[in-house]
Structure 1
Amino acid sequence: MTALTLAAAQTTSIAGDVPANLQRHLAFMRAAAGHGVQLLVFPELSLTGYEPSLADELAIAPEDARLAPLREMARELRLTAVVGMPIRLAPGTGVLIGALVLGADGSLGVYTKQHLHPGEEVAFIAGQGGAALAWGDDRIALAVCADFSHSSHPRNAAQSGANVYAAGVLISEAGYAADTTLLQGYAAEHRMLVVMANHGAPTGGWTSAGQSAIWAADGLVAAASGTGEALVIARREAGRWTGRQVAI
């Protein structure tokens, strides 16, 4: 297997302040590139914070010019970033919870959250998912938060050939133990790396647990020690995963 370096970006979002959050994303991307990261995954709705009440006014088209600095940085750094944003695929349509794949080659991919958390239907409509990312011999499947609570979601990813499952999430302190047990279980059951990027501070009225983490089939690779901003990095060399936390 070729070397591969992935990371979860544990960010703290300012509610509704897309320009400020975008600048922090750029800083994370630069820091990640400095550590050799090739794919960087941000939390659910990372560019706005998890703010359903603001989603309608903040929703954009995936090709919106406001994302240009991120796309340009991805090309410049040769790094692919998966960022969270409320999106509309066409004018007048419902708002989706999007994970936008800003490719190192300048490409743009769109993943939309398939399984809404109870209550999210007030602000969002369910999405259709998206294609796995082809990365040499690797296939990286994406998920957004409640997607992974449905065991069929990671199972379908594994059956389609994915060996990495990357989720941008908002997991609260109350839900952390149960949710991470699920994620670690998927890593073991499906023999794939599982990447979980969580918010590092309260957002949308939820107290996020932070503690973003990455698991391989044989257990934990790396995790953030708590809340606040951090990079959680995993690198595969000669078929073996090693990891670390880096403060931002």
Structure 2
Amino acid sequence: MTALTFAAAQSISIPGDVHANLIHHQRFMQAAAEQHVQLLVFPELSLTGYERGLAAELAILPEDGILQPLRELARELGLTAVVGVPLRLEANAPVLIGALVLGADGSLGVYTKQHLHPGEEVAFAPGHGGSMLAMGSDHIALAVCADFSHARHAAAAAEQGATLYAAGVLITEGGYLPDTTLLQGYAKQHAMAVLMANHGDATGGWESAGRSAVWGPDGSLIAAAPGRGDLLVIARRTTDGWAGQVLPVTTL
């Protein structure tokens, strides 16, 4: 396998303040690039916070110009970033929970959450997933939060050849143990690395547990944030095996 460095961006979102969150995302991307990260995954709805009541107002189209600073920075840094947004695929279409893939080559990919949590249907419609990402010899399958609670979702990714299963999430302390047990189990069962990017603080009335993590394809824990806060959780694969690192990210 070729060398690969990827990271979970455990970021804190300011409720409904897309401009401030864009700036914060840029800082995470810069910090990740300094560590030679090739793929950076943000939490669910990271650009707005998990604000169901604001989703219709804040929803954007994939090609919205508001994302241009992030797209340009991704290209400049040679980094692919997966950011969470409320999304409409066309004007007046239903609002979806989206993960936009801002490619290091300037490309734009779209993933939409397929499986909603109970209560999310008041603000969102189910999405349709998306294509896997190719990075060298690796294939990355995306998930957004409740997607991974369906074992078939992870199994389908493995059947399609995924070497990394990357989930942007909002997980509370009460859900942390069962959810991470599932994710770690997928890593071991399907022999693929698994990344979980959780929110770094409370959002949308929910107290995030933080503690973003990465597991290796044998199910072993590579790196995990010790708690909440703005943190990068980095995993590096080399010819010598896997290594992890957790670093704080300061605001601009």
Per-residue deviation at 1:239? 6.2
Cα distance in 2 for residues equivalent to 1:240 and 1:159: 24
Q: Which ranges of structure 2 fall in alignment gaps of 5 or more residues?
A: none
Indicate the residue corresponding to 2:13 in structure 1.
13
Aligned 1:109-120 pairs, distance under 5 A: 109-120=109-120
Cα distance in 1 for residues equivalent to 2:183 and 2:236: 19
Per mean C-alpha deviation after superposition, the further-off stretch among 233-242 and 154-163 is 233-242
Per-residue deviation at 1:33? 0.1
Cα distance change, pair 23–97 in 1 and its aligned pair in 2 (3 A): same
Cα distance in 2 for residues equivalent to 1:29 and 1:152: 32
Matched, 1:3 2:3: yes
Task: Tell me the TM-score normalised to structure 1 length.
Answer: 0.99
Cα distance in 2 for residues equivalent to 1:33 and 1:15: 26
Matched, 1:183 2:183: yes
Indicate the residue corresponding to 1:155 in structure 2.
155
Aligned 1:1-248 pairs, distance under 5 A: 1-218=1-218, 219-238=220-239, 240-248=241-249
Cα distance in 1 for residues equivalent to 2:71 and 2:217: 32
Per mean C-alpha deviation after superposition, the further-off stretch among 127-136 and 233-242 is 233-242
Per-residue deviation at 1:198? 0.2
Residue type at the aligned position of 1:163 = T
Deviations 1:177-218 (A, max 9, x none): 110000000000000000000001000010000000000133
Deviations 1:208-236 (A, max 9, x none): 00000000133100000100110000000
Residue type at the aligned position of 1:226 = G
Cα distance in 1 for residues equivalent to 2:84 and 2:33: 19
Cα distance in 1 for residues equivalent to 2:151 and 2:13: 29
Aligned-residue CA RMSD (Å): 0.6
Deviations 1:44-84 (A, max 9, x none): 00000000100000000010000000000000000000000
Cα distance in 1 for residues equivalent to 2:66 and 2:237: 34
Cα distance in 1 for residues equivalent to 2:142 and 2:6: 13
The SS at the match of 2:15 is coil
Number of aligned pairs? Answer: 248
Residue identity over aligned pairs, in percent, reads 69
